[in-house]
Amino acid sequence: MKLQADARFAVHAISAHGPGYVTVGNQRITRTCLLRPDGIDATWGPDNFANLTEEHFAALAAVECDVLLLGTGGHQHFPTPAQMRPLLEARRGIEVMSTAAACRTYNVVLAEGRIVAAALFVE
């Protein structure tokens, strides 16, 4: 039985979130990003959900993970089937929810020891 914390998960866990920010460890993020246990990609995605394109989902389809989350901002918004075509073609699932819910879910899945990625819109 393992009783100590696993350091690889502590580094990129979400420590706080609120209107206009997500905090990962001590790093405050104020724009759209792709968060994974091994790093943060601050270049993924547009500044708002309305500008999300099929190409953004193509990048997500290439991410290796057990669980893929999409945090759509303050409210849950669903992408169109056309936008999600790359994920459908790659036979990849995605869980769509508000960014606050995605932050909570990310930490739960991370604590379970599974590889999780979260594309988060920060409003």
Show me where the domains of the chain are located. Answer: 7-120
Phi, psi of 55 (to 5 degrees): -65, -35
The pLDDT score that the predictor gives to residue 27 is 93
Contacts of 109 (CB under 8 A, 6+ apart): 66, 67, 69, 116
Question: Does 9 score more than 90 pLDDT?
Answer: no
pLDDT tens-digit readout, 57-111 = 999 999 999 999 999 999 999 999 999 999 999 999 999 999 999 999 999 999 9
In the predicted model, what is the mean pLDDT of residues 107-121?
95
The pLDDT score that the predictor gives to residue 25 is 86
Question: Does 114 score more than 80 pLDDT?
Answer: yes
Name which residue leads in pLDDT, 22 or 10: 22
The pLDDT score that the predictor gives to residue 22 is 96
Residue written as token pair 């508000």: 98
**Separation between Cα atoms, residue 99 and residue 94, nearest integer Å:** 14
Which CATH code is given to the segment(s) 7-120? Answer: 3.40.1230.10
Identify any residues that bridge with 18 across adjacent strands, giving them in sequence order: 21
Give the mean pLDDT of the chain: 91
